[in-house]
């Protein structure tokens, strides 16, 4: 099977491992980390990529054409709501965000979410591609703010940015099953000590990502949105559903 995959850069190491190991022919399109902070931008950029893949597909020889588009995204702050498939089905894992994908299932994430109430998550993908709170990262940001806004304003801005920290009591490092980085685990331990959080470590699991790239795409774990349909909200725990586009008009 020829598969097109659109994924967040934060998942690049784990997904790339599965691409190499898969019996399917998979081509990937990476989007920058952090788009979930602005769901409208996430939706826009993913939809543009879907449209580009479908347009290119029409120009490919029949044997090279993609048969399906898989998304390396969960609900992601509702950023996938409204996405539309025109000529290829979309497959989306039924989860809130990438933490479930790193841990191997939504069920495991939910159990750990309850166990570590008020938890900030770290792993190699986030440390490499995102701003992760730590003494080092905040010192770097403070220096940037001083240069841009002056010392007094910089300290105030950083204090406002740090106000959320009081709501967290734990931090957890997810060890990648395909890419071990001891220095990132050390970085997380230092952050926990600096912020007064209780440190935890959990082994990552590629089970969910393996299923995303290889199938079968069971309805309980994945939404398959057929051509002519859009991704819509769903409120029974399945995260989202596929509805005909005309119902939105």
Per-residue model confidence (pLDDT) at position 136: 81
Start-to-end CA distance of the chain, whole Å, equals: 34
pLDDT tens for 100-156 read 999 999 999 999 999 999 999 999 999 999 888 888 887 887 888 888 888 878 878
pLDDT tens for 9-46 read 999 999 999 999 999 999 999 999 888 889 999 999 99
> Given a cut of 80, is residue 158 above it in pLDDT?
no
pLDDT tens for 58-92 read 999 999 999 999 999 999 999 999 999 899 999 99
| Better pLDDT: 159 or 210 | 210
Model pTM greater than 0.85? Answer: yes
CB burial readout 125-164, b (16+ within 10 A) else e: bbbbbbebbbeeebeebbeebbeeeeeeebeebbeeeeee
> Given a cut of 80, is residue 224 above it in pLDDT?
yes
Per-residue model confidence (pLDDT) at position 248: 46
> Given a cut of 90, is residue 173 above it in pLDDT?
yes
């Amino acid at each position: 099977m020829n598969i097109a995959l659109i994924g967040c850069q934060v998942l690049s190491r784990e997904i790339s491992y599965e691409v190499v190991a898969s019996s399917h022919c998979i081509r990937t399109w990476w989007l920058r980390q952090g788009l979930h902070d602005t769901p409208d931008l996430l939706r826009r950029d993913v939809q543009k990529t879907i449209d580009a893949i479908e347009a290119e597909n029409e120009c490919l020889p029949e044997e090279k054409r993609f048969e399906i588009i898989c998304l390396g995204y969960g609900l992601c702050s509702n950023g996938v709501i409204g996405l539309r498939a025109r000529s290829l089905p979309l497959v989306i894992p039924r989860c809130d965000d990438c933490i479930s994908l790193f841990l191997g299932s939504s069920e495991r994430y939910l159990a750990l979410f309850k166990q570590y109430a008020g938890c900030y998550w770290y792993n190699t993908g986030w440390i490499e591609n995102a701003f992760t709170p730590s003494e080092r990262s905040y010192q770097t940001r403070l220096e940037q703010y001083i240069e841009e806004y002056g010392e007094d304003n910089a300290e105030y801005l950083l204090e406002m940015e740090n106000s959320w920290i009081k709501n967290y009591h734990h931090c957890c490092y997810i060890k990648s099953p395909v890419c071990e980085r001891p220095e990132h685990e050390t970085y997380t331990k230092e952050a926990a000590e600096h912020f007064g959080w209780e440190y935890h470590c959990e082994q990552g699991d590629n089970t969910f990502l393996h299923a995303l790239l290889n199938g079968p795409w069971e309805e309980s774990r994945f939404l398959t949105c057929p051509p002519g349909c859009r991704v819509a909200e769903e409120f029974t725990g399945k995260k989202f559903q596929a509805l005909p586009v005309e119902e939105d008009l």
